[in-house]
Structure 1
Amino acid sequence: MPESSARSRMAEALRHPVALWTAPALIYLAVRQVGLFVLQLVVEFQNKTTGKADTSVDNLRSWDGEWFLGIAQGGYDDVPQRLTDAAGRRTAETPLAFFPGYPALIRWVDGLPGVDVVGAAFAVSLVSGLFCAYGLFVLGRVVRDGSVPAGLVLVTLFAASPMSVVLSMTYSEATFCAFAAWALVGVVKKRWILAGVCCAAAGLVRPTAAALIAAVGLAALVAVIADRRDWQAWVGGLVAPLGLLGYLAWVSSRTGDLSGWFGVQQRGWGSKFDGGAATWEFALGHLGNPRSVLETGTVWLLGFAIVLVFYAFQRRLEWPLIVYGIGVLVMDLGSNGLMNSKARLLLPAFTLLVPLALVLARRRPSTVLTVLGFATLFSAWFGAYSLAVWQYAI
Structure 2
Amino acid sequence: MTATEVAQQPDVRRAAAAAQVGVASAWTVRRVAVALTPALLYLGIREFGLLVLTWMSIKTRFPMGEALTSWDGQWYLGIAAGGYDNVPASLGDAFGRRSAETPLAFFPGYPKLINWLARPFGGTPNDRLFFAFAITIVAGVFCSYALVRIGRVVPGGSARAGVILVVLFAAAPMSIVLAMTYSEALFCAFAAWALVGVLERKWILAGLACAAAGLVRPTSAALVLAVGVAALVAVIQRKDGWRPWACGLLAPAGLLSYLGWVAAKTGSLTGYFTLQNQGWESHFDGGRATLRFIVDAMTHQLSVLEGVTVLVIMTAFVLLAIGLRTRLPWPLLLYAIGVLLMDVGSDGMMASKARLLLPAFVLLVPIALALAKRQTATTVLTLTGLVVITSWFGAYAVTVWSYAI
User: Does TM-score exceed 0.5, indicating one fold?
Assistant: yes
The 1-side partners of 2:235 and 2:193 are apart by 21
- Residues 343-368 of structure 1, C-alpha deviation per residue, up to 9 Å, x if partnerless? 10010000000111011111100110
Which residue number corresponds to residue 63 of structure 2?
55
The count of aligned residue pairs is 377
Which residue number corresponds to residue 214 of structure 1?
225
* Cα offset, 1:111, TM superposition: 2.1
1:41 pairs with 2:49: no
Aligned to 1:66, which of 69, 74, 97? 74
Which residue number corresponds to residue 373 of structure 1?
384
**Structure 1: runs of 5+ lacking an equivalent:** 1-11, 48-53
| Greater than 4 Å deviation, 4+ residue runs | 12-15
Secondary structure of 1:116's partner? helix
Which residue number corresponds to residue 93 of structure 2?
85
1:337 pairs with 2:345: no
1:354 pairs with 2:368: no
1:184 pairs with 2:200: no
1:17 pairs with 2:31: yes
Larger Rg computed on CA atoms: 2
- Residues 99-138 of structure 1, C-alpha deviation per residue, up to 9 Å, x if partnerless? 0000011112212437611111001101111111111111
Q: Is the 8 A contact 1:290 1:296 kept in 2?
A: no
Secondary structure of 1:31's partner? helix
Cα-Cα RMSD: 1.4
1:264 pairs with 2:275: yes
Aligned to 1:121, which of 118, 132, 150? 132
The 2-side partners of 1:21 and 1:220 are apart by 30
The 2-side partners of 1:226 and 1:15 are apart by 44
* Cα offset, 1:181, TM superposition: 0.3
TM-score computed with the length of structure 2 as normaliser: 0.91
**Structure 2: runs of 5+ lacking an equivalent:** 1-25
* Equivalent residue letter for 2:101: E
TM-score computed with the length of structure 1 as normaliser: 0.94
Q: Is the 8 A contact 1:14 1:20 kept in 2?
A: no
The 2-side partners of 1:42 and 1:200 are apart by 38
Which residue number corresponds to residue 111 of structure 2?
103
Secondary structure of 1:134's partner? helix
The 1-side partners of 2:357 and 2:120 are apart by 33
The 2-side partners of 1:76 and 1:301 are apart by 34
Q: Say which is worse superposed, 106-115 or 25-34, in terms of deviation.
A: 106-115
Which residue number corresponds to residue 206 of structure 2?
195
The 1-side partners of 2:153 and 2:112 are apart by 32
* Equivalent residue letter for 2:297: H
Which residue number corresponds to residue 130 of structure 1?
141
- Residues 173-204 of structure 1, C-alpha deviation per residue, up to 9 Å, x if partnerless? 00000000000000000001000100000000
Quote the sequence identity (%): 56
Secondary structure of 2:121's partner? coil
* Equivalent residue letter for 1:220: A
